[in-house]
Amino acid sequence: QPVLTQPPSSSASPGESARLTCTLPSDINVRSYNIYWYQQKPGSPPRYLLYYYSDSHKGQGSGVPSRFSGSKDASANTGILLISGLQSEDEADYYCMIWPSNAVVFGGGTKLTVL
């Protein structure tokens, strides 16, 4: 199964933006996949945030604020989660995911600290 690479940690201050990345292996083209993002807080199951394929094919999870958004950097073969207007409650672990064929693959997760 492919490996999705996420930085182990990231930090930003309240009100700032956080840009979390998810890099796909070189043999998998990010252009070809929906990139899903989940948020997980301690002791709870993951919460679905959104998916991003393109600007015309994307979706937001139920009740997820619009300050969470997705994008791609095709040149870096990377999916991106952008969180604007950071709030203390955004401090959590964030996981990317792809769903190729009959398997699901998660990234290793990024722990976001809101300073």
Residues that bind another protein (CB under 8 A): 1, 34, 36, 38, 40, 45-46, 48, 51, 57, 59, 61-62, 95, 97, 99, 102-109
What minimum distance in Å lies between the beta carbon of 54 and another protein?
Answer: 12
Q: Tokens standing for 43?
A: 């002791």
Nearer to another protein, 18 or 35 (CB): 35
Contact 10, 110 (CB under 8 A): yes
What minimum distance in Å lies between the beta carbon of 112 and another protein?
Answer: 14
Nearer to another protein, 15 or 25 (CB): 25
Nearer to another protein, 50 or 80 (CB): 50
The secondary structure of residue 7, as a DSSP letter, is -
What minimum distance in Å lies between the beta carbon of 67 and another protein?
Answer: 19
Nearer to another protein, 74 or 103 (CB): 103
Q: How far apart are CA 106 and CA 96, in angstroms?
A: 6
Q: Tokens standing for 18?
A: 């956080």
What minimum distance in Å lies between the beta carbon of 11 and another protein?
Answer: 18
The secondary structure of residue 85, as a DSSP letter, is S
Q: Buried b vs exposed e over 41-74: b needs ≥16 C-beta within 10 Å?
A: eeeeebeebbbbbeeeeeebbeebeeebbbebee
